[in-house]
């Protein structure tokens, strides 16, 4: 929001207010529709990608060959790789999805439609992610030093002379939207988790604040806590983001293993236990996430040991 001249304190205040407003209706469907309406603006990145006028041939070549691989410290490359995986296959999303399914009132009959919803959402999210990558590509084509850019506003400002005011403004709006949706879902996931851990406490968007005070306090409190961190002068927000997602990558394998065990428990799942093909995909994903987190940990340990030895 700094790209549009909004002071940090006001930006954080708007973020907390958004969490409070979206959760004030005592109806899950109201919260969900407001978040989905925001999520539609993820496609702004596709518009910015078009405005950046990429070469179709180079896009196809990059997608097919994955080349050239980035240069620089291998540890940093692994950190970015693991962080991207941790931002996609993340523990809190598992917990959010199972809690939201209950809050929404889904039944076994809704599973086929739920799978279609998930597939469509996955494709749209991947499209928006690719759009954001292509939109930011001019910075690297023109050898802009991104190390000194201050967060999302810095990237949007650096893009302005390369893709114009419209493109850079849409890029900043896309980042605001992405942050808002992430904030709303992560805060909700925290509120659900607190309610489930405490057991007897009501934890549902279908309850009023008086009926579920702890749920709403955790939901809004998480946004306030994050806002306080953001407002600390000079705090390395990019490093915090990368390492938080790295932590998600490290913690995710345990959650995936428990999920696979649960999905193969015939006593609980009945006829809906995982098929052999689903188990193969699940195990491969768990191994990929484990490899990403452990590779970074091993390389970081070796580099740290080498630095102390020298």
Range of the domain at 284: 2-309
Residue 79 CB neighbour total at 10 angstroms: 20
Per-residue pLDDT in tens (0 to 9) along the chain, 310 residues: 989 999 999 999 999 999 999 988 779 999 999 999 999 899 999 999 999 988 888 888 877 887 666 677 888 888 888 888 888 888 888 888 889 999 999 988 998 898 899 899 889 989 999 999 899 888 888 888 877 776 678 888 989 999 999 999 999 999 999 999 999 999 999 999 888 888 767 889 999 888 888 999 999 999 999 999 999 988 888 888 888 889 889 889 988 999 999 999 999 888 889 999 999 999 999 999 999 888 888 888 888 877 777 6
pLDDT value of position 145: 80
pTM: 0.85
Q: How many domains does the chain have?
A: 1
* Predicted local distance difference test score (pLDDT) of residue 301: 82
């Amino acid at each position: 929001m700094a790209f549009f001249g909004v002071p940090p304190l006001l930006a954080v205040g708007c973020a907390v207010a958004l969490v409070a407003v979206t959760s004030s209706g005592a109806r899950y469907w109201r919260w969900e529709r407001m978040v989905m309406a925001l999520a539609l603006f993820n496609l702004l990145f596709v518009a910015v990608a078009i405005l950046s006028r990429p070469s179709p041939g180079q896009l196809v070549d990059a997608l097919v060959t994955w080349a050239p691989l980035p240069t620089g410290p291998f540890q940093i490359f692994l950190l970015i790789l693991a962080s991207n995986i941790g931002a996609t296959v993340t523990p809190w999303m598992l917990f959010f999805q199972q809690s939201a399914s209950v809050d929404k009132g889904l039944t076994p009959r809704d599973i086929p439609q739920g799978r279609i919803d998930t597939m469509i959402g996955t494709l749209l999210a991947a499209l928006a992610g690719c759009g954001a990558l292509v939109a930011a590509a001019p910075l690297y084509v023109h050898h802009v030093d991104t190390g000194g850019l201050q967060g999302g506003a810095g990237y949007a400002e650096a893009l302005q002379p390369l893709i114009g005011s419209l493109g850079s403004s849409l890029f900043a709006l896309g980042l605001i939207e992405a942050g808002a949706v992430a904030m709303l879902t992560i805060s909700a996931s925290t509120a659900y988790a607190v309610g489930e851990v405490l057991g007897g406490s009501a934890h549902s968007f279908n309850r009023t604040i008086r009926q579920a005070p702890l749920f709403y306090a955790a939901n809004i409190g998480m946004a306030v806590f994050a806002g306080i961190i953001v407002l600390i002068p000079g705090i390395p927000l990019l490093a915090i983001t990368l390492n938080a997602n790295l932590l998600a990558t490290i913690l995710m394998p345990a959650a995936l293993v428990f999920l696979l065990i649960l999905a193969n428990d015939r006593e609980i799942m009945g006829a809906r236990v995982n098929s052999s093909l689903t188990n193969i995909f699940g195990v491969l994903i768990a191994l990929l996430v484990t490899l990403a987190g452990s590779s970074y940990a091993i390389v970081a340990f070796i580099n740290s040991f080498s630095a102390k030895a020298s």
